[in-house]
């Protein structure tokens, strides 16, 4: 059953905010925008949970809360286990006639640390067990809550405080873990990537993820001005460039069948519109050291990796 | 046996793990989440059979780790479900982080722990290192002497944990293999009796962000935020509230124990501590768990010889029933505490710390010594317990303690 709501700008603007203003996220925080957008797309009664991280900390500082829906946090590595318990309780309590609502959706939010790294076991287990929930990964590509340390989601060459731009080693030496593909390998019903710059696409995917029967995974790129050393007013522009450079292509995989989403399809059909990674990197201070002559080869390697992953994706989408 | 039949009970042969699973089956539990670990495995196996044979209306989540098992129970409980998990040893250690989160979120999860040694070296047999390491985690801890008590305690644990004045998770310890895998005659109550005893979960009212009083659970009609960031300005008060729940618990544990006794005909002391031959006892051992059964046999033998021997068994280790302990030890001339775990580098084991500490303010200062015993499942036979009483007799006569803390039953 597909949604009748078409996500027009007017409708979105008119929808009540369920992730409220007044939270303590930094200026230009894309994860906060992502949370607000995700809750704009819910279809009915919903319970949310977050892993420990920036958005948990900034949205719930006691005695305040930014959440207008029921919400729980337990620990860092537990977002998917939280959702498993919530979903299971809802199922059995509904069966025993102790819940009035016909259906309650469950959304788990995790940052990259809580998803790529410390929480991947709980996530993999929850998906294998087939719990009906949507997992939203807001990926700001490092442990920002503790002050910018590298994660499995940090891209090649990026400066963080644990992958410093040193004289010998220029930032993170390893590649970003292909987390969304790992989730597709779980043979789960629905996996997608999204960017807050393409908000209609993001909202549609949230709704789709809630509608599928079983687990859904949405990987959202979410720039962090503090950690990316970028202009707070450019977070959405950077998340657009992530797509336009094919660094972060937008796609969805329904029952393992990949298809490119409209913003990335443009790049596939008209490759001349695909921008170089340099345009993306130069807006972010975390890559500044790569523009020194001795490290420029890393930019080349980043471009090669992006190209390689992009072509691999095109193959999965049956676009040659 | 007459009493048993009068209460409509039936006696069936169950090992400790099976007795726990049977109790959980009768308690109208909504969600069980668990991960198998020896010697708890039979609990999850047995419960899986109940689920797959349609004998229970319970969702069973076979998680990928104990960490997730407890987390699932916590969040399911937050939605309003009655939840249960079971583990042992490394499994409990892996849950450590979430044990604190569960008590901090005031989630009334019930857990059975088939007590087992911690690695390394790896060892699957009984000692209390696992649950003693969690004694400060904000969980109520009850220790069973036999499988019958494990069955009875699990049923009581749901009432204790969910009591609105307490709202704290509750752990029932049963000694690995000694109880978990040993067949006993266990008298079980009719399903209906247990169901009526445990009742349905109730929820306290809390103030939400609109100033409205709403049930303390995740309910889309009345949204609340559970598990927020809580800093210098409020965290301390919340921790104090947890301790207040603990302080109210002894009285409530005792009442629930008595109420259960009316239905079952079975008592375990006053529900907090059990005394055996203590009234005029001069030589007293203090222990918890299955060892108490062997100690009782030795006390009987010594009493037959005219020795004034007695036993104090701690059933509720958290909250510690200090007044009951002091009262029970009032006439003791020499006390031996038996610790089935070691607090490395500490002055004796954890039970010893508590008992000597409890006596300090009472102006009773009988010589009190500690025996670390039975680590990794090492047997504690009668002759060793007799030796402890002989040591106590020497201490009583001489008034001198040679070894305040010693290991017993190992090569030295």
The tokens describing B383, both together, are: 């002759």
pLDDT (tens digit per residue) in B263-320: 999 999 999 999 999 999 999 999 999 999 999 999 999 999 999 999 999 999 999 9
∠ CA B219-A49-A91, nearest 5°, is 50
Q: Helices in chain A by DSSP H: which ranges? A: 9-14, 30-40, 54-59, 79-95, 112, 120-129, 179-184, 199-211, 225-228, 235-244, 262-269, 277-281, 296-316
The pLDDT score that the predictor gives to residue A5 is 62
Whether residue B412 has pLDDT greater than 90:
no
The pLDDT score that the predictor gives to residue B4 is 61
Which residue of chain B is at minimal alpha-carbon distance from A119? Answer: B68
From B8's Cα to the closest Cα of chain A, the distance in A is 28
The pLDDT score that the predictor gives to residue B187 is 98
Residues 176-205 of B with CB under 8 A from A: none
By C-alpha distance, which of B69, B57, B1 is closest to B29? B57
The pLDDT score that the predictor gives to residue B312 is 98
Selecting from B57, B65, B224 the residue whose C-beta is nearest the C-beta of A96 gives B57
Query: For B247, phi and psi rounded to 5 degrees?
Result: -65, -30
Q: Looking at the complex, does the CB of residue B209 fall below 8 Å from at least one CB of chain A?
A: yes
Q: Which of B214, B228, B230 to mutate to test the interface with A (most CBs of A within 10 A)?
A: B228
Contacts of B224 in chain A (CB under 8 A): 70-71
Contacts of A124 in chain B (CB under 8 A): 64
From B105's Cα to the closest Cα of chain A, the distance in A is 8
Contacts of B68 in chain A (CB under 8 A): 78, 80-81, 84, 121-122, 125-126
From B117's Cα to the closest Cα of chain A, the distance in A is 26
Selecting from B81, B97, B225 the residue whose C-beta is nearest the C-beta of A75 gives B97
**Is the link from the previous residue into B255 a cis peptide, with omega within 30 of 0?**
no
Question: Burial of A271 by CB count in 10 Å (0-12 exposed, 13-18 middle, 19+ buried)?
Answer: exposed
From A101's Cα to the closest Cα of chain B, the distance in A is 9
* 3-class DSSP assignment, residue A118: coil
pLDDT (tens digit per residue) in B312-348: 999 999 999 999 999 999 999 999 999 999 999 999 9
Contact state of B68 with A81 under an 8 Å Cβ cutoff: yes
From B156's Cα to the closest Cα of chain A, the distance in A is 22
Cα separation of the two ends of chain A: 32
The pLDDT score that the predictor gives to residue B361 is 86
By C-alpha distance, which of B263, B230, B318 is closest to B151? B263
- Rounded Cα distance between A170 and A77, Å, is 29
* CATH class of the domain at A9-316: alpha beta
| Residue B1 binned pLDDT confidence (cut-offs 50, 70, 90) | very low
Strands (E) across B51-135 are located at 59-62, 83-87, 110-115
Low-confidence residues of chain A: pLDDT under 50: 1-2
- Rounded Cα distance between B286 and B393, Å, is 15
Contact state of A85 with B105 under an 8 Å Cβ cutoff: no
By C-alpha distance, which of B125, B122, B92, B132 is closest to B339? B132
From residue B143, give the alpha-carbon distance in Å to each of A118, A210, B127, B174, B230: 34, 44, 12, 6, 33
By C-alpha distance, which of A5, A10, A93 is closest to A47? A93
Contact state of B220 with A101 under an 8 Å Cβ cutoff: yes
Contact state of A89 with B105 under an 8 Å Cβ cutoff: no
Contact state of A61 with B76 under an 8 Å Cβ cutoff: no
- Rounded Cα distance between B362 and A68, Å, is 53
From B214's Cα to the closest Cα of chain A, the distance in A is 12
Say yes or no: ipTM exceeds 0.95.
yes
∠ CA B173-B177-B178, nearest 5°, is 75
Which residue of chain A is at minimal alpha-carbon distance from B216? Answer: A70
The pLDDT score that the predictor gives to residue A1 is 41
**How many residues appear in chain B?**
412
By C-alpha distance, which of A140, A171, A139 is closest to A157? A171
Q: Are B335 and B303 in contact (CB under 8 A)?
A: no
pLDDT (tens digit per residue) in B352-406: 999 999 999 888 889 999 999 999 999 999 999 999 999 999 999 999 999 999 9
Which residue of chain A is at minimal alpha-carbon distance from B56? Answer: A92
Q: How many whole angstroms from its chain centre is CA B257? A: 13
Whether residue B2 has pLDDT greater than 60:
no
By C-alpha distance, which of B118, B122, B170, B121 is closest to B144? B170
- Rounded Cα distance between B334 and B397, Å, is 9
**Is the link from the previous residue into B121 a cis peptide, with omega within 30 of 0?**
yes
Mean pLDDT of chain B: 97
Domains of chain B: 2-203+246-264 (3.40.50.970), 273-408 (3.40.50.920)
Can you give B272-286 as a three-state secondary structure string? CEEEECCCCCCEEEE
Q: Are B369 and B335 in contact (CB under 8 A)?
A: yes
Q: Looking at the complex, does the CB of residue B97 fall below 8 Å from at least one CB of chain A?
A: yes
The pLDDT score that the predictor gives to residue B286 is 98
Handedness of CA B25, B28, B34, B40 (dihedral sign): negative
**How many residue pairs bridge chain A and chain B with CB atoms within 8 Å of each other?**
160
Selecting from B65, B75, B219 the residue whose C-beta is nearest the C-beta of A74 gives B75
Q: Which of A65, A67, A75, A85 to mutate to test the interface with B (most CBs of B within 10 A)?
A: A85
Contact state of A91 with B59 under an 8 Å Cβ cutoff: yes
Per-position DSSP letters for B298-316, written without gaps between them: HHHHHHHTT--EEEEEESE
**How many residues appear in chain A?**
320
Whether residue B5 has pLDDT greater than 70:
no
Q: Which of B62, B76, B98 to mutate to test the interface with A (most CBs of A within 10 A)?
A: B76
Residue A74 CB contacts under 8 Å (≥ 6 apart), including other chains: A49, A81, A82, B71, B74, B75, B98, B101, B105, B227
Tell the residue number behind the tokens 């279809």, with chain if given. A43
Q: Looking at the complex, does the CB of residue B120 fall below 8 Å from at least one CB of chain A?
A: no
The tokens describing B157, both together, are: 């644990």
**Side-chain half-sphere CA neighbours of A318 within 13 A:** 5
By C-alpha distance, which of B290, B321, B286 is closest to B141? B321
Q: Are B187 and B11 in contact (CB under 8 A)?
A: yes
């Amino acid at each position: 059953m597909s949604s009748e709501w078409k996500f027009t700008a007017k409708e979105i603007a008119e929808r009540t905010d369920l992730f409220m203003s007044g939270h303590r996220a930094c200026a230009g925080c894309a994860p906060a925008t992502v949370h607000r957008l995700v809750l704009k797309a819910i279809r009915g009664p919903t319970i949310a949970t977050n892993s420990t991280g920036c958005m948990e900390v900034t949205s719930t500082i006691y005695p305040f809360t930014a959440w207008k829906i029921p919400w729980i946090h337990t620990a860092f590595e537990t977002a998917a286990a939280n959702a498993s318990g919530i979903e299971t309780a809802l199922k059995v309590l509904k069966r025993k006639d102790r819940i009035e609502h016909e259906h309650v959706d469950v959304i788990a939010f995790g940052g990259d640390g809580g998803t790529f790294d410390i929480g991947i076991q709980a996530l993999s287990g929850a998906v294998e067990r087939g719990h009906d929930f949507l997992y939203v990964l807001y990926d700001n590509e490092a442990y920002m809550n503790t002050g910018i340390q590298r994660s499995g989601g940090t891209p090649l060459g990026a400066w963080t405080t644990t992958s410093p731009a040193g004289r010998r080693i220029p930032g993170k030496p390893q590649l970003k873990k292909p987390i969304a593909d790992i989730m597709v390998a779980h043979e789960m019903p629905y996996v997608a990537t999204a960017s807050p710059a393409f908000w209609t696409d993001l909202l549609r995917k949230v709704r789709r993820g809630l509608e599928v029967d079983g687990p859904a995974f949405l990987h959202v790129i979410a720039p962090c001005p503090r950690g990316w050393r970028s202009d707070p007013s450019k977070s959405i522009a950077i998340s657009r460039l992530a797509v336009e450079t094919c660094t972060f292509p937008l796609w969805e995989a329904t029952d393992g069948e990949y298809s490119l989403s409209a913003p990335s399809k443009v790049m596939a059909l008209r490759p001349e519109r695909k921008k170089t990674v340099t345009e993306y990197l130069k807006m972010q201070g975390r890559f500044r050291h790569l523009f020194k002559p001795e490290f420029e080869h890393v930019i080349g390697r980043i471009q090669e990796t992006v190209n390689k992953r992009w072509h691999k994706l095109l193959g999965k989408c049956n676009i040659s | 046996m007459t009493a048993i039949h009068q209460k409509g009970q039936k006696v069936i042969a169950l090992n400790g793990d099976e007795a726990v699973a049977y109790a959980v089956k009768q308690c109208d539990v909504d969600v069980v989440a668990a991960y198998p670990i020896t010697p708890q495995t039979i609990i999850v196996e047995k419960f899986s059979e109940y689920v797959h044979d349609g004998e229970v209306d319970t969702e069973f989540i076979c998680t990928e780790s104990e960490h997730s098992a407890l987390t699932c129970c916590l969040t399911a409980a937050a939605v309003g479900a009655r939840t249960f998990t079971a583990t042992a040893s490394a499994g409990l250690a892996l849950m450590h982080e979430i044990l604190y989160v569960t008590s901090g979120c005031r989630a009334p999860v019930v857990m059975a722990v088939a007590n087992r040694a911690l690695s390394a070296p790896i060892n699957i047999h009984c000692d209390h290192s696992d649950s003693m390491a969690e004694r400060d985690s904000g969980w109520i801890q009850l220790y069973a002497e036999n499988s019958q008590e494990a069955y009875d305690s699990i049923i009581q644990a749901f009432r204790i944990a969910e009591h609105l004045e307490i709202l704290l998770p509750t752990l029932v310890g049963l000694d690995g293999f000694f109880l978990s895998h040993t067949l006993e005659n266990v008298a079980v109550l009719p399903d209906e009796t247990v169901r009526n005893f445990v009742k349905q979960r109730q929820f306290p009212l809390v103030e939400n962000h609109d100033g409205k009083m709403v049930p303390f659970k995740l309910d889309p009609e009345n949204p609340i935020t559970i598990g927020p960031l809580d800093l210098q300005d409020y965290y301390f008060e919340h921790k104090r509230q947890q301790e207040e729940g603990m302080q109210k618990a002894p009285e409530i544990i005792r009442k629930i124990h008595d109420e259960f006794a009316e239905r079952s005909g079975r008592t375990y002391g006053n529900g907090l501590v059990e005394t055996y031959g203590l009234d005029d006892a001069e030589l007293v051992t203090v222990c918890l768990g299955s060892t108490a059964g062997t100690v009782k046999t030795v006390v009987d033998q010594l009493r037959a010889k005219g020795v004034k021997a007695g036993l104090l068994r701690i059933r509720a280790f958290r909250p510690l029933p200090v007044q009951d302990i002091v009262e029970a030890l009032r006439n003791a001339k020499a006390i031996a505490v038996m610790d089935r775990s070691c607090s490395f580098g500490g002055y004796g084991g954890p039970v010893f710390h508590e008992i000597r500490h409890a006596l300090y303010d009472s102006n009773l200062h009988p010589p009190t010594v500690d025996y670390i015993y039975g680590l990794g499942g090492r047997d504690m036979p009668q002759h060793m317990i007799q030796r402890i009483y002989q040591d106590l007799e020497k201490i009583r006569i001489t008034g001198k303690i040679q070894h305040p803390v010693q290991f017993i039953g190992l090569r030295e």
